């Protein structure tokens, strides 16, 4: 019987008996990535998308790396563009098309570097431009509090769930980062949380609020001792089966509380990440501090929140636009407008100008 949590090996595709087949070169590429310390999730995702490509090639009699040319890859891109999902007949999103081609480009770059092929047919392919999408939903403070108050704190697991929601709201960490929190990662005296092996296998230390710390302490003192087993590995948040959460189980739990709050918005763990960043920005936090909190490598990724941070921009509009019902003086403090809100507006404009410069 397979161990709980272990993955069943995927069946071979193409011609697994031919050492020169696309399938076997894919296996070598995946092993190389593991040797170079790529994250297991990255390797898993690349295998999924490379399998799609190899299956498509096999159906067309393309079985070895030298069979793949630039026109072949471009033809596969057109196939992805024309593809319609069996479930609902909808096309693949631009992002879905993009992520299916990225592993192919990395794979053939590796094949050329290892001298398995004479040239890289994917080196000059034109990638799809990705849309700069804003978060679909951002919670207000009242909406956030309504969700956080959903767990029944008279129930031990409700106390645990409240501690989880408070942690997500306070820190904006990713769901996998929350799943991996260990007991020793929380420093109550300093008010910090150590995020270990976050995205890109990077550690970072971030602040965590007093309210979240108090709920974590309540959970640790009153609930967690009842959930632990003799082989406790020190994971902070445990399920009722005394195991660490899986990402999907955590998503399901948070989504149920969001739905129960009946605020007309959908989402899960990432909803709190977007909300934390936007509310901090609206309250005057520098975008570079938010970048550090979120663990973004590029400031450009963080600047998306300057476009959804609308409150101060609304203040400017109310204070300065002539088309209004009543004209009052000093609607807002002009120094604050100049010093804070206008910077937020200019940051949003800078993002738009940068996007236009790519044309």
Q: Please confirm, yes or no, whether 76 is among the known catalytic residues.
A: no
Q: Which one is catalytic: 255, 270, 311, 317?
A: 270
Q: How confident is the model at residue 295 (pLDDT cuts 50, 70, 90)?
A: confident
Share of the chain above pLDDT 90, in %: 49
What confidence score (pLDDT) does residue 66 get? 94
Q: Which domains does the chain have, with CATH numbers?
A: 22-113 (1.10.150.130), 141-291 (1.10.443.10), 310-357 (no CATH)
For residue 183, give the DSSP letter: G
Rounded CA-CA distance 73/57 in Å is 10
Q: How confident is the model at residue 202 (pLDDT cuts 50, 70, 90)?
A: confident
Q: Please confirm, yes or no, whether 132 is among the known catalytic residues.
A: no
C-alpha to C-alpha distances, 92 to 33, 77, 100, 230, nearest whole angstrom? 27, 11, 10, 47
Helix (H, G, I), strand (E, B) or coil at 98: helix
Q: Please confirm, yes or no, whether 273 is among the known catalytic residues.
A: yes
Rounded CA-CA distance 163/173 in Å is 14
What confidence score (pLDDT) does residue 323 get? 77
Q: Please confirm, yes or no, whether 174 is among the known catalytic residues.
A: yes
Share of the chain above pLDDT 70, in %: 80
For residue 340, give the DSSP letter: I
What confidence score (pLDDT) does residue 16 get? 80
C-alpha closest to that of 271 among 131, 144, 95: 144
What confidence score (pLDDT) does residue 206 get? 86
Q: Which one is catalytic: 224, 274, 305, 312?
A: 305
User: Which run of H or E residues covers position 204?
Assistant: strand 204-207
Contact partners, residue 39, CB within 8 Å, separation at least 6: 200, 201
What confidence score (pLDDT) does residue 131 get? 65
**Helices in the chain by DSSP H: which ranges?**
22-35, 40-58, 70-82, 94-113, 141-148, 156-171, 175-179, 210-222, 224-227, 247-261, 269-282, 287-294, 299-302, 305-308, 311-320, 334-336, 342-357
Q: Please confirm, yes or no, whether 296 is among the known catalytic residues.
A: yes
Mean pLDDT of the chain: 83
Helix (H, G, I), strand (E, B) or coil at 206: strand
What confidence score (pLDDT) does residue 154 get? 94
For residue 341, give the DSSP letter: I
Q: Which one is catalytic: 132, 199, 204, 255?
A: 199
Q: Please confirm, yes or no, whether 305 is among the known catalytic residues.
A: yes
The answer to whether the pTM exceeds 0.85 is no
Contact partners, residue 29, CB within 8 Å, separation at least 6: 50, 107, 110, 111
- Quick one: average pLDDT of 98-120? 95
User: What is the DSSP secondary-structure string of 184-200?
Assistant: GGEETTTTEEEE-S-TT
Q: Which one is catalytic: 174, 175, 224, 274?
A: 174
What confidence score (pLDDT) does residue 349 get? 47
What confidence score (pLDDT) does residue 156 get? 94
Give backbone dihedrals phi and psi of 74, rounded to 5 degrees, phi first: -65, -35
pLDDT digit string, tens, across residues 41-73: 889 999 999 999 999 999 999 999 999 999 999
pLDDT digit string, tens, across residues 133-187: 656 678 888 999 999 999 999 999 999 999 999 999 998 888 889 999 999 999 9
Q: Which one is catalytic: 46, 162, 224, 273?
A: 273
- Quick one: average pLDDT of 218-245? 91
């Amino acid at each position: 019987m397979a161990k709980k949590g272990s993955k069943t090996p995927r069946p071979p595709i193409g011609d697994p008996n031919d050492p020169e087949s696309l399938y076997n070169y894919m296996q070598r590429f995946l092993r190389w990535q593991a040797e170079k310390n790529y994250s297991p999730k990255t390797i898993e995702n690349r295998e999924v998308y490379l399998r799609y490509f190899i299956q498509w090639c096999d159906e067309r009699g393309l079985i070895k790396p030298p069979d793949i040319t630039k026109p072949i890859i471009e033809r596969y891109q057109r196939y992805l563009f024309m593809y319609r999902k069996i479930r609902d007949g909808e096309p693949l999103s631009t992002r879905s098309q993009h992520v299916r081609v990225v592993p192919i480009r990395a794979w053939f770059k590796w094949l050329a570097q290892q001298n398995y092929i004479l040239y890289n047919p994917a080196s000059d392919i034109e990638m799809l431009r990705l849309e700069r999408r804003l978060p679909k939903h951002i919670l207000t403070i009242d909406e956030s509090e309504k969700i956080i108050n959903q767990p029944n704190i008279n129930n031990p697991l409700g106390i645990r769930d409240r501690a989880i929601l408070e942690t997500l709201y306070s820190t904006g960490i990713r769901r996998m980062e929350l799943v991996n929190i260990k007991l020793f990662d929380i420093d109550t005296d300093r008010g910090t949380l150590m995020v270990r092996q976050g995205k890109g296998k990077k550690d970072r230390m971030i602040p965590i609020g007093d309210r979240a710390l108090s709920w974590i302490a309540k959970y640790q003192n009153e609930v967690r001792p009842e959930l632990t087993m003799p082989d406790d590995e020190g994971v902070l948040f445990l399920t009722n089966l005394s195991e660490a959460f899986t990402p999907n189980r955590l998503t399901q739990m948070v989504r149920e509380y969001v739905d129960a709050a009946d605020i007309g918005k959908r989402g899960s763990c990432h909803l709190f990440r977007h909300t934390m960043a936007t509310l901090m920005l609206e309250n005057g936090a520098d975008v570079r501090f938010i970048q550090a909190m979120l663990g973004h490598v590029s400031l450009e990724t963080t600047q998306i929140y300057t476009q959804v941070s609308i409150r101060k921009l609304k203040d400017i509009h109310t204070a300065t636009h002539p088309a209004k019902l009543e004209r009052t003086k000093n609607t807002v403090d002009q120094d604050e407008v100049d010093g804070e809100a206008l910077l937020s507006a200019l940051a949003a404009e800078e993002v738009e100008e940068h996007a236009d410069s790519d044309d």
